[in-house]
Amino acid sequence: MGKKARQQRGRVLAALDELRTRIGLAMGAARNARAEAEFELATLELERAIVTEGYDRALLDPSLAPRPGDPVSTAVWRRLEQVRAAFGQEWADGPARLRSLVAASAPGPAGEPPGRWLGRVGTDKGLTAPALWRIGSCSASGTKDGSDDDAFDVAVPLLDESHLSITSAPGTRHAVDALVESLLMRVLSTFEPGAVRVHLWDIGQLTAVLPNFYALSRTSAVTVHDPTRLVDLLDEFSGHIRRIHADALQGGHPSLRAMREAAGKRIEPWRIAVLYGSGEELEPEQRRDLKRVASGALDAGISLILVDVPTVLGGSVETISLRDERTAYCGMTGPDLVVDLDPPLPGAQVSAAAGAIAKALVAKQGGPRGFTDLVPPELGKERSTEELRTPVGFDEGDPVEVVIGDATPHALIGGPSGSGKTNFLYALLGGLAARYSPDELALYLLDFKEGVSFAGLAPGRKDESWLPHARLIGVNVNTDREFGLALLRFLADELRRRSAAAKEHEVTTLAELRAADPGGSWPRIVAVIDEFQYLFAGRDSVTALATSLLEDIARRGRSQGIHLVLASQDVAGIEAFWGKPAVFEQCTLRIAMPKARRVLTETNQAAVTAPRWHAVINHDSGVSHGNRVAHIPDASSPGVFARLQRSLWERYASGHGSPRLFDGAVAPVLIESAAYVELAEGVRPRALVGQAIAVSDMAFGVELPRAPGRNLAVLGAAQRPAMSILDSAARSLAQQFRQGEVEFVACCLVDSCAPTVARLTDQLQRDGHKAELVPGDELGERLAAVHAELNDDGTSRVLLLYGVDAALPTLERKEPGKQSGLDVLRAILKQGPAHGVHVFGWWRAVARLKDTLGFGGTEDIGALAALDVQGSDLGPFCAGQVVHWSPRPGRALFFDRTTHSAPEVMIPYALPEEES
Ligand SMILES: Nc1ncnc2c1ncn2[C@@H]1O[C@H](COP(=O)(O)OP(=O)(O)OP(=O)(O)O)[C@@H](O)[C@H]1O
């Protein structure tokens, strides 16, 4: 072998040696790792066996007990001893820590022993609620005889935090009652009276629930509900939750708790509903409603305590399951620990405590609330920019508000006669007027009922004061549906005016308009129409027009701050009659007096059960979750409203004149009318014939330019209004002429009217005018003279002919070679007006007027006042129109060809002898 070969072999052997070494090393490591893994497995298995058996028992078990010299046993037992020592060290202060935690979370009556608080009335204002409420204790060792050091308090969350579900075991109902009673007592004794309301509902109806709470059940603190009507309770809660959410969300808060924190005061009471079930499932519908309520309840301050109601609730729920009379499992402590329930509170002491809280609550609520409680301490402080808001009644001492604004622009009030609608309106008007100044709120009040319900708000004989917010008061308008129409027209005009202003300022709502035009006068308008169904009482043009105007105002009024408050005894039927439910839909605020029908939705029965002098106030179009039942204070007894009115009057009257009072039962007085007061001597005299049925005080008049046709015919047999029309025409004319410029020639052919006509001519003479009373048998002669004198000497002549039809037989008589009296009268009617000679005549039948005019047509009668005559006869005198007129006492239909497009109803003035 050469040198080279030897070297190569040496290298191979070296390489093989290295390989062997490396393999040997690798083999050894694997063995070691395996041994380690086997050791670990053995320790874990042993550890599991010991833990499963229990540390103390395993010590005594020969197969598990420590085996000195066995590394596995030694390692496991050493490790477990270390863990045990560390745990013992940590838990040594566990009970103490739990005790102090519960003490901090359940302060005062929430956690302290009853001896320290039971019987004392709570003082906590209720800004926040304790997080936990004590129910018993527990010991860490799980044994009842654990040392005191080992025991800790067990408390559960409730208000704002959690619902509570309690499950009884056989024979433990008494213990459940005691548990609920002491929980509720802890809650009720923590806060000042009124901060918590408890609702009890017992499906079992077995015994009285919580009899020791009897005294409280007579106050708002505890309400025992009809066991058959869980639906009512749930409805009430749904409504409450919606309301709280709406209020809270509006303020940007997620819950009542957040709202309370932001406001720095308690806003609403907490509510706890205790539902006692029978362990059986509820009906599916009830279960669904209950779940729905439960999920939103906590944020609205409602906690449910379900006893044996097997249902899964939304929201957080704490559970307590009784094992026996004294012990229970509880969700807080888990299934391994047994809670020793606190012993029941002594019954007599609970009754006494309930009595004390009830007494304090009644004292705090100050007994029943009255009208003055609706009035704020300072008058007129609110602004109506966004809405109108006032309390109108009380729910167990707490005010219940009505809001008129964007969401609830219009209100519908219903209730049978005597149920308190008018009283409610007074409460509403009082509350609003006391909060908003007349610059913020204007009232238009119309009552179609017979009676004078709103009359007291205008100045009267006994009381000179008026409600300064009222701009119009209409009473006794039951026969004057046109007045309702006039109000609606006025509101529609105002709506247009506001829309135009808003457009000009490039805004859309009243709030924006007020911001854009701070100097303008843009009060919110509330128009109240009591017994509004009268508007639709006939199948005629008034109904048709009223319907469309009302719809328009209801639809567009919301954004322009024009609000309707419609009240009626019975809403039934009107809806169907209209065929258009638009107005009802817009009336999202519904007020149902006891026994009201159709105001709330069909399934909402709250009005059926509402007690006397209460109202169901519903801002949700009558759906039952919107119900709030409030006691309405007496606002309509003599003197009650008047006191507020006087204060408001003293405050605002100088800046706000008295409202216009339209009283359909009283004939207007000519000399008091605005039109008469404004009369002045002038070139275009105007004879006033009656008051218009309008929102403002307006008169109808016949203008008397020297032009053909300017004569007036009064038609019909009704004597008093006929006299009145001619009387007011003459007296008003007399005001517009200087002495000597006008001459009145009166002739009365109806004996019973003679004294009135004589009084008129006397009066005209006393005013310095020439006024002559011509005997009936001399009429022909006098007419002839007047005709002969027709010239333009500047003097005006007015012929006042009363019952002229009676003269026709005489006037018709013809003497040879002479014009008959009738011909002369016709000539005067035709030619007279152009020369300043006008006939104001009263014909008692249309046919007689036609006879008088002959074939000459009706143009010579330029103005007409119809009394008890048929509309169908009037067409020829009203430019050929079809005239709808149902004669009614004290009213006339007036038409003037030169100024009217259609005849209008007017009210003749009182005769002077009737004026009082
Ligand atoms: N809340 C109340 N408290 C005390 N008395 C009241 C209350 N509400 C109404 N009253 C009285 O009951 C009577 C009838 O009330 P109201 O006139 O308001 O009823 P209404 O529903 O308007 O009846 P109608 O439609 O017949 O006018 C009145 O004498 C009134 O003073």
Give, using CA atoms, the residue closest to atom 3 of ligand 1.
Answer: 634
Q: Which atom of ligand 1 is nearest to the CA of 451?
A: 27
What's the complex ipTM?
A: 0.98
- Which stretch, 90-94, 308-312, 603-607, 703-707, has highest mean pLDDT? 703-707
- Does residue 420's CB lie within 6 angstroms of at least one atom of ligand 1? yes
194: its two tokens: 């009124």
CA–CA separation, 555 and 235 (whole Å)? 30
Residue range 878-885: mean pLDDT, rounded: 83
Sequence ranges of the chain with CATH classification 3.40.50.300: 95-365, 391-599+610-618+629-663, 670-914
pLDDT of residue 717: 94
- Does residue 533's CB lie within 6 angstroms of at least one atom of ligand 1? no
Q: Is the dihedral of CA 776, 778, 784, 789 positive or negative?
A: negative
- Does residue 449's CB lie within 6 angstroms of at least one atom of ligand 1? yes
Give, using CA atoms, the residue closest to atom 9 of ligand 1.
Answer: 420
pLDDT tens, position by position, 370-387? 899 999 999 999 999 999
Bridge partners of 489, per DSSP, are none
Q: Which atom of ligand 1 is nearest to the CA of 631?
A: 1
pLDDT tens, position by position, 691-748? 999 988 999 999 999 999 999 999 999 999 999 999 999 999 999 998 889 999 999 9
What is the whole-number distance in angstroms between the Cα of residue 380 and the centre of ligand 1? 27
pLDDT of residue 916: 62
pLDDT tens, position by position, 791-812? 767 789 999 999 999 999 988 8
- Does residue 128's CB lie within 6 angstroms of at least one atom of ligand 1? no
- Does residue 426's CB lie within 6 angstroms of at least one atom of ligand 1? no
pLDDT at 449 over 70: yes
Average pLDDT value over all residues in the chain: 88
Of 737, 646, 647, nearest in space to 686 by CA: 737
Residue range 574-596: mean pLDDT, rounded: 79
What is the whole-number distance in angstroms between the Cα of residue 504 and the centre of ligand 1? 45
What is the whole-number distance in angstroms between the Cα of residue 601 and the centre of ligand 1? 24
Residue range 5-12: mean pLDDT, rounded: 67
pLDDT of residue 209: 76
pLDDT of residue 763: 94
732: its two tokens: 């008003």
> Residue-wise over 95-111: b if at least 16 C-beta within 10 A, else e?
beebbeebbebbebbbb
Q: Do residues 822 and 843 lie in contact, with contact meaning Cβ atoms separated by under 8 Å? A: no
- The CATH code for residues 95-365 is 3.40.50.300
Q: Which residue has the higher pLDDT, 210 or 576?
A: 210
pLDDT-derived band at 625 (thresholds 50, 70, 90) equals confident
pTM of the prediction?
Answer: 0.70
pLDDT of residue 56: 76
What is the whole-number distance in angstroms between the Cα of residue 419 and the centre of ligand 1? 6
pLDDT of residue 345: 95
pLDDT tens, position by position, 534-564? 888 877 788 888 888 999 999 999 989 999 9
555: its two tokens: 């639809």
Q: Count other Cβ atoms within 10 Å, centred on residue 9.
A: 10
pLDDT-derived band at 282 (thresholds 50, 70, 90) equals confident
pLDDT of residue 9: 63
Residues annotated in a binding site for ATP:
415-422
- Does residue 237's CB lie within 6 angstroms of at least one atom of ligand 1? no
% of residues, the chain, pLDDT over 90: 53
H or E element, residue 140: none
What is the whole-number distance in angstroms between the Cα of residue 420 and the centre of ligand 1? 4
CA–CA separation, 753 and 726 (whole Å)? 12
- Look at residue 888 and give its three-state secondary structure: coil
What is the whole-number distance in angstroms between the Cα of residue 612 and the centre of ligand 1? 10
pLDDT-derived band at 264 (thresholds 50, 70, 90) equals confident
Q: For helices 256-263 and 230-250, give the axis angle rounded to 10 degrees.
A: 50
pLDDT tens, position by position, 84-141? 777 667 677 778 888 888 889 999 999 999 999 999 999 999 989 999 999 999 886 6
CA distances from 275 to 157, 170, 186, 316, 888 (A): 18, 18, 18, 17, 63
pLDDT at 409 over 80: yes
How far is it between the farthest Cα atoms of the chain? 191
- Does residue 421's CB lie within 6 angstroms of at least one atom of ligand 1? yes
* Residue 611, phi then psi, degrees to nearest 5: -75, 170
- Does residue 137's CB lie within 6 angstroms of at least one atom of ligand 1? no
- Does residue 634's CB lie within 6 angstroms of at least one atom of ligand 1? yes
Bridge partners of 443, per DSSP, are 470, 526
pLDDT of residue 204: 61
pLDDT tens, position by position, 20-73? 677 667 667 788 888 899 999 999 999 988 887 778 788 888 888 999 889 999
pLDDT-derived band at 144 (thresholds 50, 70, 90) equals very low
pLDDT of residue 474: 92
pLDDT of residue 682: 73
pLDDT-derived band at 575 (thresholds 50, 70, 90) equals low
Alpha carbon dihedral 802, 804, 807, 811, in 10-degree steps, equals 130
pLDDT-derived band at 151 (thresholds 50, 70, 90) equals confident
pLDDT of residue 206: 53
Q: Do residues 649 and 466 lie in contact, with contact meaning Cβ atoms separated by under 8 Å? A: yes
pLDDT tens, position by position, 472-500? 999 888 888 899 999 999 999 999 999 99
pLDDT-derived band at 367 (thresholds 50, 70, 90) equals low
Q: Is the dihedral of CA 784, 790, 793, 797 positive or negative?
A: positive
pLDDT-derived band at 574 (thresholds 50, 70, 90) equals low
pLDDT of residue 8: 65
pLDDT at 192 over 70: yes
CA–CA separation, 198 and 256 (whole Å)? 17
pLDDT tens, position by position, 628-677? 889 999 998 888 999 999 999 999 998 888 899 898 888 999 999 999 99
pLDDT of residue 743: 93
- Does residue 394's CB lie within 6 angstroms of at least one atom of ligand 1? no
pLDDT at 146 over 50: no
What is the whole-number distance in angstroms between the Cα of residue 633 and the centre of ligand 1? 11
Q: Which atom of ligand 1 is nearest to the CA of 633?
A: 1
- Does residue 612's CB lie within 6 angstroms of at least one atom of ligand 1? no
Superfamily of domain covering 670-914: P-loop containing nucleotide triphosphate hydrolases (3.40.50.300)
> Residue-wise over 523-560: b if at least 16 C-beta within 10 A, else e?
bbbbbbbbbbbbbbbeeeebbebbbebbbbbbbbbbbb
pLDDT of residue 143: 47
Residues annotated in a binding site:
415-422
With the most atoms of ligand 1 within 8 angstroms of its CB, the residue from 392, 423, 530 to mutate is 423
pLDDT tens, position by position, 245-261? 877 766 778 888 988 88
Q: Considering the domain 391-599+610-618+629-663, what is its CATH architecture?
A: 3-Layer(aba) Sandwich (3.40)
Q: Do residues 396 and 220 lie in contact, with contact meaning Cβ atoms separated by under 8 Å? A: yes
Q: Which atom of ligand 1 is nearest to the CA of 632?
A: 1
